[in-house]
């Protein structure tokens, strides 16, 4: 399927009907072999597409994203449907009264929501291994993970079934799957995009953002979601490479790319980065545990086993420890903002490795095997802690497993990141590569695929 802007242009001009696009998309989603789709929204998608076509026929402006199909991680409210957050505990929850704010803004721009997409239960993980809905497969190699927790959102865009999707990112849940599936994925400045109607995880860090296959598509979707101008006049970027912990547990190709992009840029070491990650871990655990405490008391066995144990542990953390971590966070954010104020873009790895195997979801951290579910976010979690925007960009390497970098900017300066990413894309350093392993036989034997 074409990208966001190309699709919208075709619909706006009347060359393609939104309804025809949606029918093709629905058919593809129903047959999806990636274990990425949790619900296909046939009726709603057709109604929205017909409304777009009616606007075009009547000569009305159908919006900048006219007829563009997209999916949402299964934690965005959709009017009339229960919001499951990837949990069977919420399958029979009361239907949402209204769309999430982000969904409403996209609808007003003409985009058509077609599916809800798989995730780690309650967004607690970097793997999209879900006991109820299955493990989402990586379109570049179905024996590997897509990453998480927004793995379904990433897989459907990487596979070419959707031009874009929405995910959420609490500690890296957009940037990690973007890196492992070779996409652009944005974690905005904290609270820079609307969180209304989004099932929370850890409110101190929760954000939403898009996945796309190009920078210009990312800027277009972000413009609709934020209402802000995605273009910047900046041409000469002040760049720094993040050193210290960010140079450890990284793929050699990531470090080589960073050094090639900015060979003379200073190596900046963020202070106390391990301490920051630990504080983020504690805040996340405590807020997640507190959020679900009532349900954990009422029906602990109803949770995904791996998520349940993490949430229960978080619920038992002392309040004073949480307060300690939050105090450190406030002081740390101010310190980091001052430190990075001299730069427009900071370069860092997005994930420590390419996608791990589904059969052995572990990764090497400091020379020891560690659960991918917990540690794929080793480079994203400290950035979340700062509240700064971070755009995951895919290194351009067709035929190889994807891996990405983070472009990190100052608060509210997403447009600078788009401009720098566009330059990297034009230079052939970054860019989307279509999966070469999409043949159906490759998916034989995957649970949930028939």
Partner 1 sequence: MALSYTSSYPAEIMPDTPDQAPVAIPQSADEIAVVATALGLVIPADCAPGVAANLALLARHARNLRGEPA
Tell me which residues are annotated as active site: 73, 149, 173
Minimum CB separation of residue 291 from partner 1 in Å reads: 6
Minimum CB separation of residue 262 from partner 1 in Å reads: 30
Nearer to partner 1, 100 or 240 (CB): 100
Contacting positions for partner 1 (CB under 8 A) = 77, 83, 96, 197-200, 202-203, 274-275, 277-279, 281-282, 285-287, 289-291, 293, 296-297, 300-301, 305-306, 308-310, 312-325, 328, 374
Angle, CA of 217, 219 and 223, to the nearest 5°: 120
Beta bridge pairs of residue 166: 72, 210
Q: Where are the beta strands (DSSP E) in 294-428?
A: 345-349, 362-365, 368-371, 390-394, 404-408
User: Distance (Å, rounded) from C-alpha 36 to C-alpha 76?
Assistant: 16
> Going by C-beta distance under 8 Å and a sequence separation of 6 or more, which residues neighbour residue 371?
361, 362
Q: Is the dihedral of CA 393, 443, 173, 153 positive or negative?
A: positive
304 prior amide bond cis, ω within 30: no
Minimum CB separation of residue 290 from partner 1 in Å reads: 4
CB 373 within 8 A of CB 305: no
Minimum CB separation of residue 269 from partner 1 in Å reads: 17
Q: Which of 7, 239, 198 is nearest to 96 (CA)?
A: 198
Nearer to partner 1, 187 or 286 (CB): 286
Quick one: tokens of 110?
A: 């003409």
Beta bridge pairs of residue 268: 242
Nearer to partner 1, 7 or 149 (CB): 149
Minimum CB separation of residue 152 from partner 1 in Å reads: 19
CB 312 within 8 A of CB 300: yes
Nearer to partner 1, 44 or 293 (CB): 293
Nearer to partner 1, 239 or 280 (CB): 280
Nearer to partner 1, 166 or 239 (CB): 166
Quick one: tokens of 141?
A: 């190699």
CB 362 within 8 A of CB 370: yes
Minimum CB separation of residue 195 from partner 1 in Å reads: 9
Helix (H) or strand (E) holding 166: strand 164-169
Q: How many CB atoms lie within 10 A of CB 246?
A: 27
Nearer to partner 1, 78 or 257 (CB): 78
Minimum CB separation of residue 159 from partner 1 in Å reads: 29
User: Distance (Å, rounded) from C-alpha 56 to C-alpha 13?
Assistant: 8
Beta strands 164-169 and 362-365 are: unpaired
- Phi then psi for residue 417, to 5 deg, are -65, -40
Minimum CB separation of residue 301 from partner 1 in Å reads: 6
Which DSSP string do the residues of 6-53 spell out, in sequence order?
HHHHHHHHTSS-HHHHHHHHHHHHHT--SS-EEEE-HHHHHHHHHHHH
> 322 by DSSP, 3-state: which?
helix
User: Distance (Å, rounded) from C-alpha 407 to C-alpha 417?
Assistant: 6
Nearer to partner 1, 258 or 285 (CB): 285
Minimum CB separation of residue 275 from partner 1 in Å reads: 6
Nearer to partner 1, 321 or 429 (CB): 321
How many separate helices (H) and strands (E) can be counted in the chain?
Answer: 15, 17
């Amino acid at each position: 399927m074409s990208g966001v802007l190309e699709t919208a242009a075709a619909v706006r001009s009347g060359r393609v009907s939104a309804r025809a696009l949606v029918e093709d998309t629905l058919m593809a989603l129903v047959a999806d072999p990636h274990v990425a789709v949790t619900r296909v929204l046939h009726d709603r998608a057709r109604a929205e597409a017909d409304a777009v076509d009616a606007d075009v026929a009547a000569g009305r402006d159908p919006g900048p994203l006219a007829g563009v199909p997209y999916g949402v991680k299964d934690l965005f409210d959709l009017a009339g449907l229960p919001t499951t957050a990837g949990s069977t505990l919420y399958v029979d929850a009361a239907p949402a009264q209204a769309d999430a704010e982000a969904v409403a803004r996209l609808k007003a721009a003409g985009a058509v929501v077609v599916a809800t997409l798989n995730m780690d239960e309650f967004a607690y993980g970097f793997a999209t291994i879900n006991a109820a809905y299955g493990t989402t497969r990586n379109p570049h190699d179905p024996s590997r993970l897509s990453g998480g927790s927004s793995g379904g959102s990433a897989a459907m865009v990487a596979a070419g079934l959707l031009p874009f999707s929405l995910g959420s990112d609490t500690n890296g849940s957009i940037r990690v799957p973007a890196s492992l599936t070779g996409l652009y994925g944005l974690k905005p400045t904290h609270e820079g995009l609307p969180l209304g109607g989004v099932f929370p995880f850890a409110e101190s860090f929760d954000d939403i953002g898009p996945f796309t296959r190009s920078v210009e598509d990312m800027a277009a979707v972000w413009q609709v979601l934020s209402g802000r101008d995605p273009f910047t006049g900046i041409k000469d970027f002040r760049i720094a490479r993040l050193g210290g912990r960010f140079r450890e547990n990284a793929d050699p190709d990531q470090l080589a790319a960073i050094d090639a992009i900015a060979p003379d840029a200073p190596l900046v070491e963020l202070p106390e980065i391990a301490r920051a990650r630990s504080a983020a871990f504690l805040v996340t655990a405590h807020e997640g545990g507190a959020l679900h405490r009532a349900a954990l008391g009422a029906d602990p066995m109803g949770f995904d086993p791996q998520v349940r144990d993490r949430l229960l542990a978080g619920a038992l953390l002392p309040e004073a420890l949480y307060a300690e971590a939050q105090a450190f966070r406030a002081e740390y954010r101010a310190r980091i903002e001052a430190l990075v104020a001299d730069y427009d873009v900071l370069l860092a790895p997005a994930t420590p490795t390419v996608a791990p195997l589904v059969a052995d979801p572990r990764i090497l951290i400091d020379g020891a095997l560690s659960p991918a579910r917990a540690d794929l976010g080793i480079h994203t979690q400290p950035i979340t802690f700062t509240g700064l925007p971070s755009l995951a960009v895919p290194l351009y390497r067709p035929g190889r497993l994807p891996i990405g970098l983070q472009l990190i900017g100052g608060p509210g300066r997403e447009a600078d990141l788009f401009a720098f990413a566009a330059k990297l894309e034009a230079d052939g350093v970054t860019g989307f590569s279509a999966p070469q392993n999409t043949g159906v036989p490759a998916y034989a034997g995957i649970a949930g695929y028939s």
